Chains A and B, each alone.
Chain A
């Protein structure tokens, strides 16, 4: 079964531009989460989608947004890019959303390496 696919793998953008990243989850998985990974801040949770609805959102400014389509594919958008947005953006898919009790194994994609210049 194909894993989580993220496109593009690498991206270079200029400050002020916007960017859209794509994530195709494992077939049958309906939950997609997005994370930002930087050397300074580590792995930070951006948002989680399930059945086209945003379930949870991390502490990121409104410039970061996302959506999920009916086929569970997800996109995240960053507008008005800043130098500090340079990071590895990871998405993870799982069968169901994370909750407090049930074990929810998440499978990560290879990530999109975004560089803002």
Chain B
């Protein structure tokens, strides 16, 4: 079954509001990647986190890897309409690679 869950499944925000998606794994992950998929498009790599407790920032996006390497989060500050899409986390455990269930973000102008 699905080993990497994301919440929420859907999120609607007003432009300018913040947004956070959470990724939770039932097992310890070696690393975690985040992807963004625009409607009708393909996943685009955003970042990879490897170390326990690691935090990385890309402009308005902040990515965090939990201390136990079982969870991760993506936070977007002051959302813009260009942030619309589905955000997926993807984790490596053993030789397997699992994508999260995704969070679909809608930004209302």
Q: Which of B2, B92, B102 has the most CB of A within 10 A?
A: B92
Is B44 at the interface (CB under 8 A from chain A)?
Answer: yes
Q: With A35-B99, A100-B31 known to touch, is A43 a contact of B45 (CB < 8 Å)?
A: no
Whole-angstrom distance from the CB of B98 to the nearest CB of chain A? 7
Residues on B with C-beta less than 8 A from A55 are 95
Separation of A103 and B99 alpha carbons in the complex (Å)? 17
Considering only residues 45-93 of chain A, those with a C-beta below 8 Å from chain B are 45, 48, 55-56, 58, 90, 92
Main secondary structure of the interface of B (DSSP, over half): strand
* A-side interface size class: 20 to 34
Q: How many A-B residue pairs have CB under 8 A?
A: 55
Contact B95 A56 (CB under 8 A): yes
The contact string, 1 if C-beta is below 8 Å from chain A, for chain B 20-43, is: 000000000011010000000111
Q: With A101-B50, A103-B50, A105-B48 known to touch, is A43 a contact of B99 (CB < 8 Å)?
A: yes
Whole-angstrom distance from the CB of A21 to the nearest CB of chain B? 14
Give me the interface of B with A, judged by CB distance under 8 Å: 2, 30-31, 33, 41-45, 48, 50, 88, 90, 92, 95-102
